[in-house]
Amino acid sequence: MNKKEQSLSIIKPDGVSRKLIGQVVKRLEENSINIIAMKMIHMSIKEAQGFYAVHKKRPFFNSLTDFMSSGPAVVMVLEGEDVIAKYRKLMGATNYKEAAEGTIRKDFATDIEKNVVHGSDSLESAAFEIGYFFNSFEING
Ligand code: ATP
Ligand code: MG
């Protein structure tokens, strides 16, 4: 049996302002993904830059960090077997134009940057990202 994993999910500022929190949470619940922590935050530009530090050399870094600090976002810790890959499959490809039918990004994203959701891409990034937003008392593991 595969080990239980955790993943960090973000409903990005476009998802919150477009009132898509419920739609995203519904898809998580319908797919038996456990939400073990959840809160609304509004990242400062510095916090967004720290979160996306891996992308700091990319041409879209400034625009991405401006966007991620432009309004409130919802951060969640997801838990389950294979949850990193499972949630990334539910999200769909980064570019919504390439996302599979029935995925969150295919159904709701409007832009390659404003793509509604974030999900950790590895165990290592999940550990960093969860620790970036949550302390152990906030996680109901
Ligand atoms: P995320 O990390 O948000 O879950 P991802 O892993 O699918 O998404 P990454 O390659 O890690 O995609 O890029 C991080 C985020 O940067 C993307 O979700 C998107 O918001 C933005 N982004 C990625 N590529 C581009 C691009 N070519 N132009 C503009 N923004 C981009
Ligand atoms: Mg990524």
Catalytic positions: 118
For the chain, the 3-state helix, strand and coil shares in percent, each to the nearest 5, are 45, 20, 35
Q: Where are the domains of the chain?
A: 4-135
CA of 50 to the centre of ligand 2 (A): 14
Q: Which of 7, 51, 56, 64 to mutate to test the pocket of ligand 1 (most atoms within 8 A of CB)?
A: 64
pLDDT at 3: 80
CA of 141 to the centre of ligand 2 (A): 24
Q: Say how far apart CA 136 and CA 141 lie, in whole Å.
A: 9
Please write down the long-range contacts of 105-113, taking CB distance under 8 Å and 24 or more positions apart: 108/15, 108/18, 108/20, 108/23, 110/14, 111/14, 113/60, 113/63, 113/64, 113/67
Residue 26 and residue 33 in contact, taking contact as beta carbons nearer than 8 Å: no
Quick check: CB of 76 below 6 Å from ligand 1?
no
Residue 115 alpha carbon, nearest atom of ligand 1: 20
Given a cut of 70, whether residue 1 has pLDDT beyond it is no
Give the residue-averaged pLDDT of 86-114: 98
Given a cut of 90, whether residue 136 has pLDDT beyond it is yes
**pLDDT tens for residues 26-83?**
999 999 999 999 999 999 999 999 999 999 999 999 999 999 999 999 999 999 999 9
Average predicted confidence (pLDDT) for the chain: 97
pLDDT at 141: 72
Beta-ladder partners of 118:
10
Quick check: CB of 64 below 6 Å from ligand 1?
yes
Query: Tokens 């600090």 identify what position?
Result: 69
Give the residue-averaged pLDDT of 96-125: 98
Residue 9 and residue 117 in contact, taking contact as beta carbons nearer than 8 Å: yes
Residue 67 alpha carbon, nearest atom of ligand 1: 20
Class of domain 4-135: alpha beta
Quick check: CB of 102 below 6 Å from ligand 1?
no
